Structure 1
Amino acid sequence: MTQVHVEVVGFTYRPCGPFPCDADRSCGLTECFEKEKLSFAFPALKKALEEKYGEKVSVELVSLDAEIPERIKKIVAEEHPPLPFILINGAVVPVGAVSVPKISEYIEKAL
């Protein structure tokens, strides 16, 4: 049973965070190392969160490549989050990048 819904919102061809990949892997992901695109980081993030939380968490990519959903336009207009941004159960969380440790902090709070 899903208790927490995580959405990653952004353009798939854009970077997965504000900083370049480095050997420290502070984001907690290795599969997408040096690719620095959301299209590579999202599947790695989804796999990592599903392994860590199982059925308690669902993970979805909200791609802005083709169109921007109205609810996302509203969030951007009101909160001005940098892309990509993370929603936990529909609320913006101040993560600022695709990062397993940072996103996990907010998942833990929501469980």
Structure 2
Amino acid sequence: MTPISVEVIGYTFRPCGPFPCDADRSCGLTECFGRETLAFAFPALEKALKERFGDRVSVILTPLDEGVPERVVEMVRIDHPPLPIILVNGKVVPVGAVSVPRIAAYIEATL
């Protein structure tokens, strides 16, 4: 079985979502609580998705800190996604945050 790819695109030390962290943990992550940056949220997301989906999912981070790849410029031009950009199997999904429940819903729909 080919794994489903999840790609997170964003700036490493920028927020991992549009809203501040709060005690509700609606993103489904606890390890990065209070740090609110992609640098801490991405490893927690990767761990959570691997625990839930195992080898059926691959999770990668494309940091924009050193420059924005042309393919990302094109995505933004066409789809206007919020940062961080979330791709599932190469397609922009309207998540706009590092959120296990929201990303998992797109993975499950693809399985």
TM-score, length of structure 2 as denominator length: 0.97
Consecutive unaligned residues of structure 1, counting only runs of 5 or more, are none
Shift of 1:110: 0.9
Q: Secondary structure at the match of 1:17?
A: coil
Q: Deviations over 1:31-64 (max 9, x none)?
A: 0000000000000000000111010000000100
Consecutive unaligned residues of structure 2, counting only runs of 5 or more, are none
Q: Secondary structure at the match of 1:6?
A: strand
CA RMSD of aligned residues (A): 0.8
Quote the sequence identity (%): 67
TM-score, length of structure 1 as denominator length: 0.97
Shift of 1:69: 1.3
Alignment of 1:16-95 (within 5 A): 16-95=16-95
For residues 2 and 34 of structure 2, the distance between their equivalents in structure 1, rounded to whole angstroms, comes to 32
Shift of 1:2: 3.8
For residues 90 and 68 of structure 1, the distance between their equivalents in structure 2, rounded to whole angstroms, comes to 17
Aligned residue-pair number:
111
